[in-house]
Structure 1
Amino acid sequence: MPVTVLQLCHCYTMPFVDISQQYAELMQRQGARVVTVFLTRPRDEALAQSHNSDKTVFLELRSQDVRGLKLGLLLRLRRLCREEGVSLVVAHRWKPIYLATLLQLTMPSLKVSGVAHALGQLQRHGRRLLFQLFGRRVHLLGVSDATRDDLRRCLPAAAHSRVQTLYNYVDFDTLRDRQLDRVAARKALGLPDDAWVFGNVGRLHPHKDQATLLRAFARISVELPSARLCVLGQGELETQLRRLAAELGVATRVDFLGVVHNAARYFRAFDCFVLSSRRESFGMVLLEAMAADVPVIASDAGGAREVVHSRVWRPQPGDAGSFAERMLALAELDDDARAALAAEQLAFASSHFSLGAIEQQLSQLELHQWLREAPQLADSQSQ
């Protein structure tokens, strides 16, 4: 009888809907049956039909419905676990991890694995206290070594075997097939055919630090008169960043395109992808850029340094001069050298962040054993 896993997700916004698909596939390949639950947002019939879980459940809660101690929600999840014969919960992000931790108190043989997708998830004293009091049987996964180490620093008494790394992964072949060619991608984004385009994708947020990227671009704009900077994403800093571009004299050469649905399809529009984050838990966009055969520059921060293996292309966070130096150096490479760099980065990514590589990593974790062992069903647990 296969293990039934309850995959608990806060919502199905990007990138978490893709991550839920990845985890469902990964766990099914270990022989598990997967029931995915989205706590918030209305039911999406297309997603219900297309999601690769064995069953998809939409609780359709409002954000305020999952704040604080929600006994009614816990009872609802407990009932679902019993009805589906769940023996393992895999919870993504803080609120689902919190709920799964409390759920385990009422179902003692339930196993719980929480996945931290961001740095600083346990920095709050209350969260650390919850784990110290109630989470001693919960295992945590960080999406990078940087995220794992951040968790371990917050839980110094926890055995290292309880806090491990499981990288995100990309189906590189499928992604490459979906990505538009350079001409089509530029046409879709409204970018000139003859421009040299630096691309950046992410929230316009202090952690992503597009301000440093703008300052770096301004420094090299005279030496690269055909260059443009294309920024995909929205956020609280948009007005401030537009103002900064104008102050730096590059406003007419910076394209703020807002949120672009399924942005990875258009990455071949870029000649170079630049990630300027000061804090980065992993950097899925880096893998998506590499899949598009686009060379990558990424700040030497957090999980990004684990994706971009060469220090040559990892400038210091917040250092516009360091970014400008590398952006100019990459732009001055000839076509063959640039293609060779992109191929080298893709080869590294494929060997470390493909499904096969992550299955190998999973095989070293206790989660792998949980997915394969004979389940103790929820309906056999104490009432």
Structure 2
Amino acid sequence: MSSQPWVLQFCHGYDGPFLDVARQYAALFEGTPYKVCTVYLTGEPDAEAERGSASDEVIFLGHDSREVRGLKLGAMRRLRQIVAGRDFRLCIAHRFKPIYIALLATRLPVVGVLHAFGVFERAMRRWFVSRFQSRLLLLGVSDAVRDEMRGYLPAWDPERIQTLHNRVDVEAVQAEQVSRETAREALGLPQDAWVVGNVGRLHPDKDQATLIRGFAEALPRLPAGGLLAIMGSGRLEASLRKLADELGVAGQVRFLGQVAQGRRYFKAFDVFALTSDHEPFGMVLLEAMAAGVPVICSDCGGGREVVEGVGRVFPLGDASALADALCAETADSCVRVPERFTDEHGRQRFMAFRYLRAWLG
């Protein structure tokens, strides 16, 4: 076995935001003696995912989601083989399925990172993690997720259920982002318009209906040429288009569809609005801030924590309050990503967790 100390990072997959999540947690060990091996349970080998993981080694198990239902014995055997070859001190597992596999397949201490609400609604899951409480530290991506977990696991030491907010590599994101002019040209938006931006799948959870209603109410008070640009696709597109037509703003609402590497174009927006009714964190808010765009967010769990002190919060589902917030942002303004959402702050907080210090030595 190698004497080099390693940290195992076990991810369900690298789709959507989870590639950057892997990068965030690998970055926690920069400047330390630890090397990071990132293992993806699902997904075929991918050069871009390998580079984006920012890890010393990346392993793709290549399972299909259907293959890891039930007891997941094949994945457990493979993980045991990986762990047997090196001096792994710790496993960081994202989402419940990798936490489950890591706890059963290894004897490593496990940092389980939860990215969603409702993970412990099932009694069986609460029973399972409680069996392994002595070698498990649970992290929520927001205080809202953490507090929900503590509510489901009241017998746990609160220090075993903590918050580690998602972070953003500000310089890397800004290096990707194109200029306002280039972004508007790419998205087909007029250069002289005042644009409210929104990014997210067209799904009830994202509540773009309130967004459209708030925009329609605010439009007479917004600068001339006001537009709402919604980046994303989903099953509600037809009903949202119908709503915009009923409110008389169909000509001012642009449905941009799914845009590859959408955060590159955030400088196209004059203000960014997130209206979700169920947001564990809200990474797009940080990406908008990195572009210098003012942000507005519904009081929706983790999203409120992201914009607190730097953006505006309005009551969930209140279109009139959203309209007032949009109008308040018509003056030139600019924001920056708060220090608490940077890699360096995340590293300091992570290394300060009491149980983690004991495990890493």
Q: Which category describes the TM-score, using the shorter chain as reference length?
A: over 0.9
Contact 1:3 / 1:372 at 8 angstroms: preserved in 2?
Answer: no
Provide the TM-score with structure 2 as the length reference.
0.93
Deviations 1:259-279 (A, max 9, x none): 212111111000000011112
Hey, what does 2:265 align to over in structure 1?
Answer: 266
Secondary structure, aligned partner of 2:349? helix
* Mapped partners of 1:154, 1:238: distance in 2: 36
Match of 1:61 in 2: 63
Q: For structure 1, which runs of at least 5 residues remain unmatched after alignment?
A: 374-383
Residue identity (%): 47
**Contact 2:294/2:311, CA 8 A, preserved across alignment:** no
Distance 1:369 1:134, change over 3 A: closer
Residue from 330, 337, 341 that aligns with 1:353: 341
Aligned-partner Cα distance in 2 for 1:113–1:186: 42
Measured after TM superposition, the shift of residue 3 of structure 1 is 2.7
Secondary structure of 2:29's match? helix
Q: Shift of the alpha carbon at 1:39?
A: 1.0
Does the Cα contact within 8 Å between 2:20 and 2:52 map onto a contact in 1? no
Distance in 1 separating the partners of 2:255 and 2:123: 38
Match of 1:117 in 2: 115
1:98-177 alignment to 2 at 5 Å? Answer: 98-104=100-106, 107=107, 110-177=108-175
Shift of 1:101: 2.5
- 2:300 aligned residue: 301
Q: Deviations over 1:216-256 (max 9, x none)?
A: 11112233351111111122322222222222222221111
The C-alpha deviation readout for 1:261-300, integer Å capped at 9, x for no partner, is: 2111111000000011112111111111111111111112
Q: How many residues align?
A: 358
**8 A Cα contact 1:30 1:371, kept in partner:** no
CA spacing shift, 1:274–1:165, aligned 2, 3 Å: same
Query: What is the letter of the counterpart of residue 348 of structure 2?
Result: Q
Asked whether the 8 Å contact 1:102–1:134 carries over to 2, the reply is no
CA RMSD of aligned residues (A): 1.9
Distance across 2 between alignment mates of 1:351 and 1:164: 19
Cα deviation digits, residues 36-65 of structure 1 (max 9, x gap): 111112111343355421111111111111
- Give the drift of 1:150: 1.1
Residue of structure 2 equivalent to 1:376: none
Q: Does the C-alpha gap of structure 1 residues 189 and 13 become closer, same or farther in structure 2, counting only changes over 3 Å?
A: same
Gapped regions of structure 2 (runs ≥ 5): none
Q: Normalization by structure 1: what TM-score?
A: 0.88
Q: Write the distance in 1 (CA, Å) between the matches of 2:67 and 2:185.
A: 43
**Which residue matches 2:194?**
196
Q: 1:364 maps to which residue?
A: 352
Task: Name the structure 2 match of 1:324.
Answer: 323
Separation in 1 of the partners of 2:268 and 2:320? 25
User: d(CA) in 2 for partners of 1:43 and 1:308?
Assistant: 36
| Distance of 1:15 and 1:263 partners within structure 2 | 12
SS in 1 for 2:155: coil
